[in-house]
Amino acid sequence: MVTYHSNKSYLVFRSLKNITRRIMGMSKKDILVIIPARSGSKRIKRKNIRKFLGRPLIVYAIEQAKALKLPSRVVVDTDSPEIAKIALRHGAEVPFLRPAHLATDNSPVADSLLYLLKRLKREEGYNPAYVMVLQTTSPLREKKDIEECWKLMQSTNATTVLTICPTHPRLYYVNKHNNIILANKTKTQSTNMQAWKPAYILNGCFVYIVKTGALLKEKKVVTKRTKAIVCPKWRSIDLDHTEDWVLAELVYKNKHEIEKKIKRFR
């Protein structure tokens, strides 16, 4: 059962299950899992609910979040009534819709997280110890990636743990004259890759976990004490362009075979 409450520019969705959960005091969960899913994606239209191998992309993140054996609450943060309906249908919460000014191409993710935390605390008295962000655009994320991030968060002094993947250590950009310029200069002048320190990039990210106190204080997800878990490069496909989508579907369908071949190759 879902109830709709109109409030000028947006609809507020609540499910009977979620209301019951708050009444029973289950909102005291330590981890708030947030799945950001704004509408209006430009390069891949309707990206968050586009069918990825036959199912809306957002469903993969919701099911992963709900399968976690952690004291968590799963919320989809969206500005779209259509995305909200799909999220509710698959067992996530959508306590309210994200305001339009926080759902533009230039809206920082941290701002929408802070807004969500503020409203949940004001309206429900809910104040989780940690915020976990699972991006919909990382369908090749696995349960073990999340578990390794959580283990690192619990065993160190990190205020943020996120995922990265290996990349080439020499990074270039191209100027308006098509000249390539080395962006990350080091003391090493060698062109031999082995002479450079290993390099990494954020891989989407698969997972962000941040202590709520640090997020509220620093107003950003990548906080002063940020640590990382390294994920395989072949799974670190972020769905930003159409070719990423096509490649990710091929990899997803064959991921078990790919993993077996990689292990045998070693």
* Domains within the chain, CATH numbers bracketed: 2-166+199-265 (3.90.550.10)
> Mean pLDDT over residues 236-240, rounded?
97
Residue type, 91: G
- Model-level pTM? 0.88
> How confident is the model at residue 189, as a pLDDT?
65
Q: Name which of 8-12, 80-84, 116-120 the model is least confident about.
A: 8-12
CA proximity to 169, closest of 212, 200, 144, 190? 200
* Range 108-115 average pLDDT: 96
Q: Which tokens belong to 140?
A: 């090749």
Query: Sorting pLDDT into bands at 50, 70 and 90, what band is 7?
Result: very low
pLDDT, tens digit, 9 for 90 and up, residues 41-86: 889 999 999 999 999 999 999 999 999 999 999 999 999 999 999 9
- For residue 34, what pLDDT is reported? 98
C-alpha triplet 124, 214, 95: angle, nearest 5°: 25
Residue 184 banded pLDDT, cuts 50, 70, 90: confident
Q: Which two tokens stand for residue 29?
A: 């969960």
Kindly tell me if the per-residue pLDDT of 9 is higher than 70: no
* Across 119-145, average pLDDT: 97
**High-pLDDT (> 90) share of the chain, %:** 79
pLDDT band at 5 (very low <50, low <70, confident <90, very high): very low
pLDDT tier at 19, thresholds 50, 70, 90: very low
Q: What's the mean per-residue pLDDT of the chain?
A: 89
Flag whether pLDDT at 24 surpasses 50.
Answer: no
User: At residue 165, what is the residue type?
Assistant: C
Q: Which residue has the tokens 């499910």?
A: 15
Query: Does the pLDDT of residue 160 top 80, yes or no?
Result: yes
How large is the average pLDDT for residues 116-124? Answer: 97
